[in-house]
A = this chain, B = another copy of it.
Amino acid sequence: MEVITLTGVTDSATAKGEQTRELILSTALRLFREQGYGKTTMRAIANEAGVSVGNAYYYYGSKDHLMQAYYDLLQDQHREAVEPILATEKAFVPRMTGVLRTWLDVSAPYHEFAGTFFKTAADPRSPLSPFSEESRPARDASVEIFRRVIDGSDLKLAADLKTELPELLWLLQMGVVLFWVHDQSEDVRRSRALIDRAVPLVDRLLRLTRIPGVRGVTTDIVTLINSIKP
């Protein structure tokens, strides 16, 4: 049997398996969206996909791994959706605001079960932890977005700050995510408000770093952050 895979490569050895893998993942994501993570059982996923429970475990080591796969998908979507903004906007505030709002948009369908997601992510031993080794590729890709936000903008920054800022903005995004997870307002209005008000503040803060008395503290903060990295 020969099947054309998504990458266009013909690979008769694994084609069948890949099809099953994708079938299981897409079924799982649909059920997660429809009924939430907690209420979706592995049996239901297997059932709906027309395979056995054991088969699902052959491809995904645990229910969490299915979520990890979803997370990777989300990151990809965000990266894509953000391109128009990075290409168009030139000022820091709209660039950053756009990137964060886009994240909300992309993640919207999953808000309902996001709680469970971040519950798992908070466990330092979980591969889903944003600080884990397994998440490094996704995290690096995310930080890269923020590097582009800065590089393409009108911000004038000291060299050391410019190096660290992408990671700091990534941390800010983590904060927004944390707020969003807890946000029960209609249409996550409050999360949007937070973004719209916080980003201009960050902008002002960054411009403050040019004041002599402030510069020293900034340097020290950057140094501290560097020292606590693993």
Whether A115 and B123, one on each chain, are in contact in the complex, defined by CB atoms closer than 8 angstroms, is yes
CA distance A48 to B213 in the complex (A): 61
In chain A, positions 93-134 with a C-beta closer than 8 Å to chain B are: 115-116, 118-126, 129, 131
Cβ of A116: which chain B residues have Cβ within 8 Å of it? 123
Whether A208 and B213, one on each chain, are in contact in the complex, defined by CB atoms closer than 8 angstroms, is yes
Interface size class of A (residues with CB under 8 A): 20 to 34
Per-position binary interface string of chain A over residues 191-217, scored 1 when its CB falls under 8 Å from any chain B CB and 0 otherwise: 001100110010011001001011001
Among A10-18, A55-63, A83-91, A220-228, the one that faces the other chain is: A220-228
Instruction: Determine how close the nearest CB of chain B comes to the CB of A220; give it in whole angstroms.
Output: 6
Copies in the complex: 2
Closest to A190 in B: B228
Cβ of A118: which chain B residues have Cβ within 8 Å of it? 122-124
Whether A201 and B217, one on each chain, are in contact in the complex, defined by CB atoms closer than 8 angstroms, is yes
Whether A217 and B224, one on each chain, are in contact in the complex, defined by CB atoms closer than 8 angstroms, is no
Instruction: Determine how close the nearest CB of chain B comes to the CB of A114; give it in whole angstroms.
Output: 9
In chain A, positions 146-202 with a C-beta closer than 8 Å to chain B are: 179, 181-182, 190, 193-194, 197-198, 201
Chain A residues near B (Cβ < 8 Å): 115-116, 118-126, 129, 131, 179, 181-182, 190, 193-194, 197-198, 201, 204-205, 208, 211, 213-214, 217, 220-221, 224, 227-228
Question: Given A118-B122, A201-B221, A201-B224, 19 more contacts at CB 8 Å?
Answer: A115-B123, A115-B124, A115-B125, A116-B123, A118-B124, A119-B119, A119-B120, A124-B182, A131-B182, A193-B227, A194-B224, A194-B228, A197-B224, A197-B227, A201-B217, A204-B217, A208-B213, A208-B217, A211-B211
